[in-house]
A and B are shown apart, each in its own frame.
Chain A
Amino acid sequence: MSEQVLAILIMWTFIFVYSIFGSIDFGSGFWAMVYNRHSSMAGKIANRFLSPTWEVTNVFLVLLVVAFVGFFPKGAYTLGTVMLVPVSLILFFLAIRSAFMVFSYSVQGYRRAMFIISGISGLLIPSLLIAVLPISQGGFIERSGGKESLMLAELFSSPSLYMYVLFGLASELFLSSLFLADYSRVSNNEKAYRLYRENAILLGPLTLIAAVITLLFMSPEAKWLVDNLYKQKIWFILSFIVFLISYGSLWWPKGKRPGIGRPRFALLGVVLQYGLASYGYGMAHLPYIVYPDLTIYEAFTAKETFYSLMIMYGVGLAILTPGFYIFWRLFLKDKRYLQQE
């Protein structure tokens, strides 16, 4: 494997991890808004998860940017130039959301404002984030006088963009409902569990349909990608099979006690499903970062930097793993936290 391929593999892994955690994070914000007053405490549960975790999720977002600059500086140049407006908007909403999340924890009076802000930005931010994908397929960047810029009119009139957004939102809500179903089960709240399970049952097929429509509506410039995706179909078939199994597990009996569904199994399965599909998508995208001018080979960093970064990842992971473990124990497992009133 060449260094460039290793670098993009790590990059895709980070993107994948962030898209899972980000989906759960932003989705929880949305559900917390929807079920703010719900009798089942479903909103409270979403919020209980969100309070200690959003900071950590935010660091993942920063990690994405930093890793990209470190691995593919030329890519940072191009995307930094053309994405000025959309990314600035993301930053703007993100800042408001984070600030209100913390403020509302301190002063009760801001609770309502916070639920609404965090709920709405929980839909807006991911929609803007996913716009990177259609842009990277080519056709939306224009070059004149050595200056690259985004063709906003073309982008916004392209059905491809909206299909991606639809797919992204459906996935976000699907993943977060599954996660919250599991979280509710661990918290021993059967009522909230049922609610999130129903959402997941509804949203699962929707994500599949959205994915297929997205593929159908790909812009003509993205023909190269469609062809490549077709070559990677094995990953998508596997992904589909895993989806069927995990979706089905929402009806499996719970085990010793009465109750329906295995949310933990379903969640892990769906993560695997997205992992397989992302791998296929990533392979199909190679070697382009932005089609047709920017490949991973041109954008690659200095070799020496690459190797020192790799060493640091090893060291960093070794240091952080115990920290993550303690964190998980305290907020995702400890009954004293999960079952408080």
Chain B
Amino acid sequence: MDTVILARSFFGTSLGFHIIFATLGVGLPLMIVIAEILHLTKKDKHYSIMAKRWTKAFAVLLGVAIPSGTIVGVQLSLLWPGFMEIVGKVISLPFQIEIFAFFIEALFMSIYVYAADRLPRYFRIITVIFVAFGAVASAILITAVNTWMNTPDGFKIKPDGTIYDVRPWDAFFNPSFVSSAMHVAITAYMTGAFAVASVAAFKLMKKQSEDEAAYHRKGLLLSLMVAFSMSFLSSITGHHSAQILHEYSPEKLAAAEGLFETTTYAPLAIGGYTDPETEEVKYGIEIPWLLSWLAGGTFDTEVKGLYEFPRETWPPFYVHTLFNLMVGIGSLLLAVAGAVLLYWWFFVRKKGSRFPKWMLWTLVFSGPLSMLCIEFGWVFSCSGRQPWTIYRVQTTGEAATKASDLGPLFALFLLLYITLGILTILILKAYFKRNPVSKDLEKLSSY
């Protein structure tokens, strides 16, 4: 394999690993804040137990989020030195501010975990709000860099590569920043909530006391409400992101939709795959006019096809599949969360019946599916930009390191990620096995 492909796979793997923990690192604190606030307002101790247990899981996940984040952060300079040279001149601001967000999160997280018993209750809630704020701020700030790669702004470049007329804040607030940042934050909340729902649904299927079942039902309901509203918002913000693609990165949208000819009244292709031989989408369902309407708001909006652009700058065709998977799973999850909530309203709450097993099993898969969405979305965004690292400014080949000894390092880190992944699961299992909910609930009733 040549160095560039190795570097791409290496970096993509590192990020794909980091994003799992990073997303939960954004999503879980929100759930903890909500639980702490519910405990305060409803005076229901169950919520306090929830907050404690989720914090425990969060702390373990953070133990991987931080080192894996440190890895990707430094790897940017190691694998893409050409890219970082431009980043340093133009878009180092969000990286810098992100450090402050990290500090806020790290400081208050330590305080929340190691000093909670010494703090008054209201201060504990403020502390965890700071943690949640730091986490989402770091996600938004790193997204600023990524959106700048997709829609670069705030500088001029001479043909020889000299950079001048730098406007750091314009680079920060580049055209796709607001829509993507919202989409990233909201999908992280959605994923955090579905992850909690998965666990709660799984636990509800076990044999347990009525108190325990009530506890898990509360957790399930709370997480589903958050998940449902965030799913809804994620489709709105995702739709907005697609409109930005239409305006600023038409190749990416064309590749996402497998559209070759520029047309008005463009159809939306759902499913299938883009066949490189015949240059069309095979086995997909076409809904007439919809793409034009989604992209521009009117049916006669002209959507550019790939033939408008030189072939060397076409993104890979598989992004069509990635895009479809993200949107498809996202819509499915929205429907699932909505359906379960309706069932709860009409049958569980009013008639006292239980959730059927198949419904709970469906929910068990919601968390992992939501996480898959995140992965597909990112790989779509990063691969759909190919062959550019900075859209129409720097190609991936120019950005990449010239070093030749990537193979063994890649293998070493792959091993590291697999080990850490397995260990995380084992540790979480061991901890929660030794400290089951029933124990926490007993402590409660013995007061």
Residues of A within 8 A of B (CB): 51-53, 55-56, 58-59, 61-63, 65-67, 69-74, 76-81, 83-85, 87-88, 91-92, 94-99, 101-103, 105-107, 109-110, 146-149, 301-305, 308-309, 312-313, 316, 319-320, 323-324, 326-327, 330-331, 334, 336-337
Contact = CB atoms under 8 A, between A and B. Distances in A.
Contact of A92 (B56, B401, B412): B412
Interface stretch (B68-76, B221-229, B253-261, B322-330): B68-76
23 contacts: A55-B62, A69-B84, A69-B95, A73-B84, A73-B86, A76-B77, A81-B401, A87-B78, A95-B416, A99-B423, A101-B63, A103-B60, A109-B430, A149-B402, A301-B88, A302-B164, A302-B166, A305-B88, A305-B90, A308-B93, A308-B168, A309-B92, A337-B115
A78 to B, nearest CB: 8
Nearest to B63: A102
Interface in B408-429: 409, 412-413, 416, 420, 423-424, 427
A91 B114 CA distance: 26
B73 A76 contact: no
B81 A66 contact: no
B166 A305 contact: yes
A313 B93 CA distance: 10
A271 to B, nearest CB: 21
A103 B419 CA distance: 13
B423 A103 contact: yes
Contacts of A146: 402
B332 interface: no
Contacts of B56: 106
B401 A80 contact: yes
A320 B103 CA distance: 8
B59 interface: yes
Contacts of B193: none
Interface residues of B, number: 72
Contact of B81 (A62, A80, A98): A80
Given A103-B427, A106-B59, A304-B166, A95 B88 contact: no
A56 B100 CA distance: 11
Nearest to A57: B106
B285 interface: no
A309 B89 CA distance: 11
Given A69-B92, A94-B70, A102 B62 contact: yes
A305 B427 contact: no
A305 B103 contact: no
Leading 5 A-B pairs by shortest Cβ distance: A102-B63, A73-B88, A70-B92, A80-B77, A95-B67
A76 B104 contact: no
B107 A323 contact: yes
Contact of A51 (B106, B114, B413, B431): B114
B88 A72 contact: yes
A81 B81 contact: yes
B384 interface: no
A149 B405 CA distance: 11
A54 B126 CA distance: 22
Contact of B100 (A65, A71, A305, A316): A316
B64 interface: yes
Given A91-B70, A147-B402, 4 more contacts: A62-B69, A301-B92, A320-B104, A323-B104
A83 B107 contact: no
B111 A327 contact: yes
A109 B167 CA distance: 53
A312 B100 CA distance: 10
B382 interface: no
Contacts of B84: 69, 73, 76-77, 80
Interface of B: 56, 59-60, 62-64, 66-71, 73-75, 77-79, 81-82, 84-90, 92-93, 95-100, 102-104, 106-111, 113-115, 118, 130, 155, 163-164, 166-169, 401-403, 405-406, 409, 412-413, 416, 420, 423-424, 427, 430-431, 434
B108 A323 contact: yes
A69 B87 contact: yes
Q: Interface centre among B86, B118, B166, B412, by most A CB within 10 Å? A: B166
Contacts of A326: 107, 111
Contacts of A66: 73, 92, 95-96, 98-99
B405 A84 contact: yes
A101 B420 CA distance: 13
A76 B95 CA distance: 14
B168 A305 contact: yes
A77 B81 CA distance: 5
Given A96-B416, A106-B427, A327-B110, A84 B96 contact: no
A90 B431 CA distance: 29
Contacts of A87: 74, 78
Nearest to A101: B63
Contacts of A65: 73-74, 77
A235 B59 CA distance: 44
A64 B130 CA distance: 24
A305 B106 contact: no
Contacts of B104: 319-320, 323
Contact of A62 (B60, B87, B99): B99
A334 B423 contact: no
A70 B69 CA distance: 18
A70 B90 CA distance: 9
Contact of B430 (A52, A55, A107, A319): A107
Contacts of A308: 93, 168-169
Q: Interface centre among B77, B95, B416, by most A CB within 10 Å? A: B77
Nearest to A330: B115
Nearest to B113: A52
Given A63-B99, A96-B416, A58 B166 contact: no
Contacts of A80: 77-78, 81, 84, 401
